[in-house]
Structure 1
């Protein structure tokens, strides 16, 4: 029997937390609980900034920002009694999410239909849209 593996992309926005609520609802209706990966992707800092800052400071910055973005999602999953692992990654959001999902053999990606990047998304195409286009696995967008 194979384990169902789900990725939830979290940016700390309300839509991403609604995706967590949807996963909780879906997972509690299953006999076998899915393996859940919470993923937050931090944008890399410009080399104009990082060349003056120690790598450890940059790493700490990404970790702290990621922990803040993941906090509410972790609390919701823990309160629901669901086991998860949290991951903070650095890179361009859409391909990083898809690469992680592919490498972990996820069967589904859950994410909010829009997050903090919604204004940018109007100009450049949203992260959610890019994930849908890049992903070889189903993507469920939650409003």
Structure 2
């Protein structure tokens, strides 16, 4: 069984990562995929007005659930058959690498973003950190 972890965030790059992972899965029989979304830890400031943190948390979880449902639909439409979703909270790069280890995946597939104001090709900071920390191959998709 070949296991892929596909990091998703709702971006066009993540959508293309799903499509590339599906093509890769088509080449390797019995590929299993995990669609992972990491909710970033909220930032709280002591000097801001108090609001309902539970409501913010619930809204964040609903957004994550919707994002994962959309990613799952896209993954299945792209040809991934054995696919599950997982939503976690934390620092994205750290959680992607942690889940990859916990799930014993063979490869991480994720999107990256394009150019800075000078026009040079740059990796996103999350993608850079995952490449640096990961113990398995990382496939970055533009």
TM-score, length-scaled by structure 1: 0.80
- Distance in 2 of aligned mates of 1:58 and 1:97: 23
Partner of 1:61: 59
Equivalent position to 1:19, from 13, 17, 20: 17
Partner of 2:70: 72
| Structure 1, 105-114 or 63-72: larger mean CA deviation | 63-72
C-alpha deviation, 1:87, in angstroms: 1.0
Partner of 1:6: 4
The 3-state SS of whatever aligns with 1:127 is helix
C-alpha deviation, 1:65, in angstroms: 1.8
The 3-state SS of whatever aligns with 2:85 is strand
Aligned length: 132
C-alpha deviation, 1:68, in angstroms: 3.1
Equivalent position to 1:35, from 29, 32, 36: 32
C-alpha deviation, 1:58, in angstroms: 4.3
Matches of residues 121-136 of structure 1 in structure 2 within 5 Å? 126-136=125-135
Whether the aligned pair in 1 keeps the contact of 2:33 and 2:84 (CA below 8 Å) is: yes
- Distance in 1 of aligned mates of 2:69 and 2:113: 19
- Distance in 2 of aligned mates of 1:29 and 1:134: 27
The 3-state SS of whatever aligns with 2:62 is helix
Partner of 1:99: 98
> Which structure: larger Rg?
2
Structure 1 unpaired stretches of 5+: none
Q: Which has the higher helix share?
A: 1
- Distance in 2 of aligned mates of 1:78 and 1:31: 16
What is the alpha-carbon root mean square deviation over aligned residues?
2.4
Structure 2 unpaired stretches of 5+: none
TM-score, length-scaled by structure 2: 0.80
| Structure 1, 72-81 or 128-137: larger mean CA deviation | 72-81
The 3-state SS of whatever aligns with 1:106 is coil
C-alpha deviation, 1:106, in angstroms: 0.8
